[in-house]
Chains A and B, each alone.
Chain A
Amino acid sequence: MSDGALIALTAEAAAARIADGSLPAAEYAEAYRARAAADRAAADDGLNCFTWVADSVGDHRAGPLAGVPVAVKDLFCTAGVPSQAGSRLLEGYLPPYTATAVRRLEDAGATSHAKTNQDEFAMGSSTENSAFGPSRNPWDRERVPGGSSGGSAAAVAAGLAPWALGTDTGGSIRQPAALCGIVGLKPTYGSVSRYGMIAFASSLDQAGPLTRNVRDAALMLRHMVGRDECDATSLDYPLEIRLPAREDLAGVRIGVPAELTADGIEAGVLARFSEALALAEGLGATIEQVTLPTAPHGLAAYYVLAPAECSSNLARFDGVRYGHRVEGADLTEMYTRTRHDGFGREVRRRVMLGTYALSSGYYDAFYDRAQRVRTLIAEDFARVFASVDIVATPTTPTVAFRLGEKTADPLAMYLSDYCTVPMSLAGIPAISIPAGLVDGLPAGLQLAAPAFKENELLDAARALELALAFDGSAAYV
């Protein structure tokens, strides 16, 4: 089979062909491995999607995903393989164990031969905060792929991986998926184990799939969910994730929150959003205006809570036991130099913000208040979901921006997550699917559902995906 024909296969289709013997697993995996290795070798001439690519494809287990390679975001610990979370501090770090989410995919037969680039410790919306250089958007190499799972998104969009594993804290799967014209799903908080994910903000981090279509997202998620003894916050997923087959939206009530669909959203993005809603109506959905009055405060709450948690989560990177160390005259100097030198600017900024927010005398004004905002946002969603099945918004306010365009203005960068953060704070599942192009660049449609309603969410996303008929093949390299 030609490379082009292999790349055109969805992961689901490839798994089926490997299973029926019409596609040799080694040939399929090697085609992707070689493409990933070529991107890595191309350095600045490539997309810089990968931080590590294996020299050869390994064995795989029997199972429903047998032989299908998955690109894994750098921050997942994979035994004996560099797992650096995009940070200089963890450059060359080889964990002794494999993250549960990765292990479950491997148990289902998937292989992994590549780790993908990301913003350092998942802090960023452009992958420009990686210690290993920015990734590029395959739709326009002068633009960012989004972040923090930018390497995963760009790799899937460019046909350098059939699908990829990412993590989402405030939008880190959905936003790059939108900017790269692919599907990205953030599951219900607690449905996928966080064990082995190098933590950014524990109460928000969730692993999820980045794929070329909705059925692949469902397929990957099916093999990731479930209680893990090693993660006290993980939960038994109440039912099996189905592969969505629905082609209409009859009886589905879609709520459109004014707060996330008006101010600050680019006209082109809004246009694609409106067209998608019109298509949904054509498929039988009813569209209702709803209100999420607290949602606009989500970003402010998020930028207290996530930095607060990260300031503590990143304290273990002290140069004592592993990773980068810069010697000093005494212990304090060793700590200071190691962390100053090992962390990039954005990480240092957030550690400082979080340290401040948790400080004695400021806790009530910042952390506690932000937690209360979070509760109010969750209550907003609960109220809205009493009358609608799905909430729809644009995934991001803009299409992919230029490399360097927002690096000097962190607040502008933070606004990229304006539409995705509220769902993260509420812990509910949300998916981004391509809604079309704006001047040749993809725009995303975000759909959200109540906790553990992934099946209903995937059904709606699948029906819309079929109707939208987005073709992302122009981005293949």
Chain B
Amino acid sequence: MSDAARYEAVIGLEIHVQLSTRTKMFCGCELSFGEEPNTRTCAVCLGLPGALPVANARAIELGLMIGMALGSELAPRSVFHRKNYFYPDLPKGYQISQYDQPLCRGGHLGEIRIHRVHLEEDAAKLIHVGASGRIHGSDASIVDFNRGGTPLAEIVTEPDLRSAEQAGEWLRLLRTTLRQLGVSDVNMEEGSLRCDANISLRPSGSDALGTKTELKNMNSFRFLERGIRAEIDRQREILEAGGEVVQETLHFDPATASLTALRSKEQAQDYRYFPEPDLLPVAIDEAMLAAAREAMVELPAARADRLERELGLSAEAARTLAFNAELGDYYDRALAAAEVDARALANWLSDLVGRLGDERTPAESSVTPAALAELVALVEGGEITTAGGRQVLDVLVREGGEPRAVVAAQGLAAIGSDDELAALVAAAIDANPDAAERIRSGNAKAIGPIVGHVMRESRGRADGAEVARLVNEQLGV
């Protein structure tokens, strides 16, 4: 049995998403996008004496939209708690978060179950002055409170993921979903989407859970997958050597791809959670639910369903388009631009994606959705052949432009008159007497070289089926 098969990884994700509200979670300060440090602050988000929080109704609405999108149970009454700990980026000495009564419980995205979704406030940003860039060993630390108090939704999955790749793929789906919802910028590099992973290993086939570690600070999809892979490897080596995994929090350093322990269970903080007495419980009413419902858009799962059921796409094609929002939008725009067969359009789009490779997406390419739709229409109308269409697409990818103009300029119009095609077929029979003889004697498969000859001579402008019909007609079989 291979190493990889002997152990199974069990992975759960905790995702923090900065919500796209205008103002902060508990005060009226506008959210900051790179302004001068400490210019988006007030008595509340600086934790000045006497200041009190007031919950942002829009953030609650966005939280409800996330819950709806994930099929969660929306709590009629949820409670903010204080999570108490000292740190310079936490001006009140506690973070207002949710604890045992979160806004949303349960749900799923794809096959991955959601444990809960709750709201909280972001910490301020600490900048450590000194060589290491970390608080230990730095000469001084300075605090920018612009980010402090930004609304966050924390989404926690059940431990349903089994590999780094699956985790990465699922997180992309979540990002697409949240982006389509319009609740967040969901940009990992800029920190509006942050992901921690809980990882444990267990013998394949076992139902028990092993000791887990928490992996923090993976600020890109690449680092997420790399970090999880590194941690799985680390744990496997420990287990194979007969050791025991220690429950601890690990920091992934993307520069060195190494893992450093932040704190172990023995040092675990006691956050002394208790209900935030400065805020009333959040009571969801019908108006709030209606507002959230109103703001909902078509989400990947619903889109896949629509593409498959209403347009007749294959399940795989529907998923591909639905789970890549940009591609799905491109497809919808092309479909709206011309009366073409939905399945044919999906095939042509897939062809385009293949030609572009990893470098560009269709939306970034010189092929507009309308041009692709026109190309498909030309093929469907018999004005060009499929092979001709591929040549047109090559030109569009290279140079852009209008398909009809490309057809004219390159002389790619399908050979329309029977006379012209009949002459080409006759010439091809003359050039392949052996094949013609075998066909006459009943070997239908021998037609290949003759049809190929016509195609070459016509530069793909001939329709293969029509050519075959004419060959047989002229040979009297």
**Footprint of B on A, CB under 8 Å?**
75-77, 83, 85, 90, 93, 95-97, 99, 194-199, 201-203, 229-233, 308-309, 311-312, 314-318, 320-322, 331, 335, 355, 358-360, 363, 367
The residue of chain A having its C-beta at the shortest distance from the C-beta of B135 within the complex is A331
**Footprint of A on B, CB under 8 Å?**
43, 46-55, 82, 84, 86, 88, 91-94, 135, 143, 270, 272-274, 277-280
Partner of A360, one of B91, B272, B277: B272
Check A316–B280 contact: CB distance below 8 A: no
Check B272–A194 contact: CB distance below 8 A: no
Check A309–B277 contact: CB distance below 8 A: yes
Query: In the complex, A322 Cα to B46 Cα: how many Å?
Result: 10
Q: How far is the CB of A331 from chain B (nearest CB, A)?
A: 7
Check B278–A202 contact: CB distance below 8 A: yes
Q: List 27 A-B contacts (CB under 8 A).
A: A76-B50, A77-B48, A77-B49, A95-B43, A95-B48, A97-B48, A195-B50, A202-B277, A202-B278, A229-B54, A230-B52, A232-B52, A232-B54, A233-B279, A233-B280, A308-B274, A309-B277, A312-B93, A316-B93, A321-B47, A322-B48, A322-B49, A331-B88, A358-B84, A358-B273, A358-B274, A363-B272
Check B91–A316 contact: CB distance below 8 A: yes
Check B50–A359 contact: CB distance below 8 A: no
Query: In the complex, A75 Cα to B51 Cα: how many Å?
Result: 12
Check A96–B43 contact: CB distance below 8 A: yes
Check A230–B272 contact: CB distance below 8 A: no
Partner of B43, one of A97, A308, A367: A97
Most chain B Cβ neighbours within 10 Å, of A316, A335, A359: A316
Most chain B Cβ neighbours within 10 Å, of A77, A229, A233, A320: A320
Check A318–B93 contact: CB distance below 8 A: yes
Instruction: Give every chain B residue within 8 A of A309 (Cβ-Cβ).
Output: 274, 277
Partner of B92, one of A315, A322, A367: A315
Query: In the complex, A38 Cα to B81 Cα: how many Å?
Result: 47
Check B86–A318 contact: CB distance below 8 A: yes
Instruction: Give every chain A residue within 8 A of B82 (Cβ-Cβ).
Output: 312
Query: In the complex, A230 Cα to B53 Cα: how many Å?
Result: 7
Instruction: Give every chain B residue within 8 A of A335 (Cβ-Cβ).
Output: 86
Check B49–A316 contact: CB distance below 8 A: yes
Check A232–B280 contact: CB distance below 8 A: yes
Check B50–A197 contact: CB distance below 8 A: yes
Closest 4 pairs between A and B when the two form their complex, measured CB to CB: A315-B93, A358-B272, A202-B277, A203-B277
Q: How far is the CB of A473 from chain B (nearest CB, A)?
A: 35
Query: In the complex, A321 Cα to B46 Cα: how many Å?
Result: 8
Query: In the complex, A97 Cα to B46 Cα: how many Å?
Result: 13
* Overall SS of chain B's interface: loop
Q: How far is the CB of B336 from chain A (nearest CB, A)?
A: 46
Instruction: Give every chain B residue within 8 A of A308 (Cβ-Cβ).
Output: 274
Query: In the complex, A367 Cα to B81 Cα: how many Å?
Result: 14
Query: In the complex, A95 Cα to B42 Cα: how many Å?
Result: 12
Instruction: Give every chain B residue within 8 A of A311 (Cβ-Cβ).
Output: 84, 272
Query: In the complex, A318 Cα to B86 Cα: how many Å?
Result: 8
Check A232–B279 contact: CB distance below 8 A: yes
The residue of chain A having its C-beta at the shortest distance from the C-beta of B269 within the complex is A360
Most chain B Cβ neighbours within 10 Å, of A76, A83, A358: A358
Q: How far is the CB of B50 from chain A (nearest CB, A)?
A: 4
Q: How far is the CB of A190 from chain B (nearest CB, A)?
A: 10
Query: In the complex, A321 Cα to B93 Cα: how many Å?
Result: 12
Partner of A355, one of B48, B50, B272: B272
**If A202-B277, A202-B278, A316-B92 touch, does A231 touch B272 (CB 8 Å cutoff)?**
no
Check A232–B270 contact: CB distance below 8 A: no
Q: How far is the CB of A131 from chain B (nearest CB, A)?
A: 15
Q: How far is the CB of B52 from chain A (nearest CB, A)?
A: 5
Instruction: Give every chain A residue within 8 A of B280 (Cβ-Cβ).
Output: 232-233
Check A232–B278 contact: CB distance below 8 A: yes
Instruction: Give every chain B residue within 8 A of A321 (Cβ-Cβ).
Output: 46-48, 91
Instruction: Give every chain A residue within 8 A of B93 (Cβ-Cβ).
Output: 312, 314-316, 318
Q: How far is the CB of B147 from chain A (nearest CB, A)?
A: 15
Check A232–B49 contact: CB distance below 8 A: no
Instruction: Give every chain B residue within 8 A of A314 (Cβ-Cβ).
Output: 93
Check A199–B50 contact: CB distance below 8 A: yes
Partner of B49, one of A93, A203, A233: A93
Check A359–B47 contact: CB distance below 8 A: no
Check B272–A198 contact: CB distance below 8 A: no
Check A315–B86 contact: CB distance below 8 A: yes
The residue of chain B having its C-beta at the shortest distance from the C-beta of A368 within the complex is B274
Check A85–B49 contact: CB distance below 8 A: yes
Instruction: Give every chain B residue within 8 A of A95 (Cβ-Cβ).
Output: 43, 48-50
Partner of A231, one of B43, B46, B52, B84: B52
Instruction: Give every chain B residue within 8 A of A202 (Cβ-Cβ).
Output: 277-278
Check A83–B272 contact: CB distance below 8 A: no
Partner of B270, one of A229, A315, A360: A360
Instruction: Give every chain B residue within 8 A of A85 (Cβ-Cβ).
Output: 49
Partner of B274, one of A90, A99, A199, A312: A312
The residue of chain B having its C-beta at the shortest distance from the C-beta of A315 within the complex is B93
Query: In the complex, A85 Cα to B50 Cα: how many Å?
Result: 10
Query: In the complex, A53 Cα to B280 Cα: how many Å?
Result: 37
The residue of chain A having its C-beta at the shortest distance from the C-beta of B49 within the complex is A198
Instruction: Give every chain A residue within 8 A of B54 (Cβ-Cβ).
Output: 229-232
The residue of chain B having its C-beta at the shortest distance from the C-beta of A363 within the complex is B274
Instruction: Give every chain A residue within 8 A of B51 (Cβ-Cβ).
Output: 195-196
The residue of chain B having its C-beta at the shortest distance from the C-beta of A320 within the complex is B88
Q: How far is the CB of A352 from chain B (nearest CB, A)?
A: 13
Instruction: Give every chain B residue within 8 A of A312 (Cβ-Cβ).
Output: 82, 84, 93-94, 272, 274
